[in-house]
């Protein structure tokens, strides 16, 4: 039993040994480093290190556990082709296609945290594939349903019609896929409440309004939330109405028709939420 104090024990990363700095005694040796593998080490800060490979992820069929071969030589290109073909078993081709479609659709949605969405959606796709639920004829509908489920679980604003168009499926097909996912796989949609502020940020870029107008709209939404005005009302309508009021107050007058067309919010909803905000917050608007 070593009498070396704990404060004097250091770990030698090169040799994989625990050493006592007072006596020079090797306490343990041949320790396996289970941390990330780095491509190189520098005397500079750890921020300069580059990982030897990506962390495990569910957005690809082999969870990212693959080897990258240099293709600059003829032998390298041939070896890389053989490596790629060996990674995909014949029984996994459907899973590979499903994950490729999922990644493609999520990339085109331009989400701020797309890697997180891909990883969580990939976990659901893998689970459905193992249970035999993802088939060739329903693949597009299943991927659309998985993406919708993942976005709702993360309380991320989504336009279902955009997802349907990207996956080239109908609302009825996705509804059936959602029912099958919840019934046969046990995957549930966690009740997430989308903050109207998320829609304000999203809609501001669509309407191309100034940062000052966006900031004022966010202040209106925050005040409305604190006053309980947003309770029971759709976040899209609240965000659109706040932007409409802010644009008038900042002399960036946008028409209700223009906002309705660009944001896919009906003019009736926009007018109702507009009246709620100006009446409850005592805002004087000069049209």
The CATH number linked to 157 is 1.10.472.10
Residue 211 lies in a domain: yes
First to last CA, the chain: 85
State phi, psi for 142 to the nearest 5 degrees: -65, -45
pLDDT of res. 45: 46
Residue 201 lies in a domain: yes
pLDDT tens track for 81-116: 766 665 555 557 788 888 888 888 888 887 766 788
Locate 277 and state its tokens. 């905000």
Domain boundary, last residue among 185, 207, 229: 185
174: containing domain: 91-185
> Is the distance from CB of 48 to CB of 37 less than 8 angstroms?
no
Q: How many domains does the chain have?
A: 2
Q: At what angle do helices 160-167 and 171-180 cross, to 10 degrees?
A: 90
Residue 231 lies in a domain: yes
Residue 172 lies in a domain: yes
Residue 80 lies in a domain: no
Sheet holding 17-20, edge to edge: 9-12, 17-20, 26-28
pTM to 2 decimal places: 0.51
Q: Are 200 and 267 found together in one domain?
A: yes
Q: Are 172 and 242 found together in one domain?
A: no
Q: Are 165 and 209 found together in one domain?
A: no
pLDDT tens track for 173-199: 989 888 888 776 666 655 555 678 778
Domain boundary, last residue among 185, 213, 231: 185
Q: Are 95 and 181 found together in one domain?
A: yes
Residue 269 lies in a domain: yes
Rounded to whole angstroms, how far apart are CA atoms 58 and 132?
Answer: 18
Q: Are 95 and 180 found together in one domain?
A: yes
pLDDT of res. 152: 80
Q: Are 200 and 180 found together in one domain?
A: no
Q: Are 147 and 179 found together in one domain?
A: yes
Average the pLDDT over each of 117-126, 188-197, 263-272 and give the range with the smallest value.
Answer: 188-197
Q: Are 109 and 180 found together in one domain?
A: yes
Q: Are 232 and 213 found together in one domain?
A: yes
More confident position, 16 or 86: 16
Residue 59 lies in a domain: no
Residue 27 lies in a domain: no
């Amino acid at each position: 039993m070593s009498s070396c104090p704990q404060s004097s024990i250091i770990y030698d990363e090169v040799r994989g040994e625990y050493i006592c700095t007072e006596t020079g005694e090797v306490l343990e040796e041949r320790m396996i480093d289970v941390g990330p593998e780095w491509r190189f080490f520098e005397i500079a800060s750890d921020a300069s290190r580059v990982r030897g490979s990506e962390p495990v992820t569910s957005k690809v069929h082999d969870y990212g556990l693959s080897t990258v071969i240099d293709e600059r030589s003829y032998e390298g290109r041939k070896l890389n082709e053989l490596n790629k073909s060996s990674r995909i078993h014949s029984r996994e081709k459907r899973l590979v296609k499903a994950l490729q479609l999922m990644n493609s659709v999520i990339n085109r949605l331009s989400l701020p945290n797309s890697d997180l969405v891909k990883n969580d959606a990939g976990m659901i796709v893998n689970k459905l594939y193992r249970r035999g639920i993802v088939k060739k004829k329903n693949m597009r509908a299943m991927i659309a349903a998985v993406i919708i489920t993942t976005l709702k679980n993360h309380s991320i604003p989504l336009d279902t019609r955009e997802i349907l168009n990207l996956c080239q499926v109908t609302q009825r097909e996705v509804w059936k896929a959602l029912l099958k996912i919840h019934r046969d796989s046990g995957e549930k949609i966690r009740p997430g409440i989308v903050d109207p502020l998320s829609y304000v940020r999203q809609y501001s870029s669509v309407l191309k309004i100034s940062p000052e107008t966006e900031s004022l709209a966010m202040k209106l939404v925050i005040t409305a939330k604190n006053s309980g005005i947003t309770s029971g009302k759709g976040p899209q309508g609240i965000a659109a109405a706040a932007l409409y009021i802010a644009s008038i107050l900042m002399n960036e007058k946008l028409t209700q028709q223009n906002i309705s067309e660009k944001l896919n919010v009906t003019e009736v909803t926009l007018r109702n939420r507009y009246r709620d905000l100006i009446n409850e917050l005592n805002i004087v608007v000069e049209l």
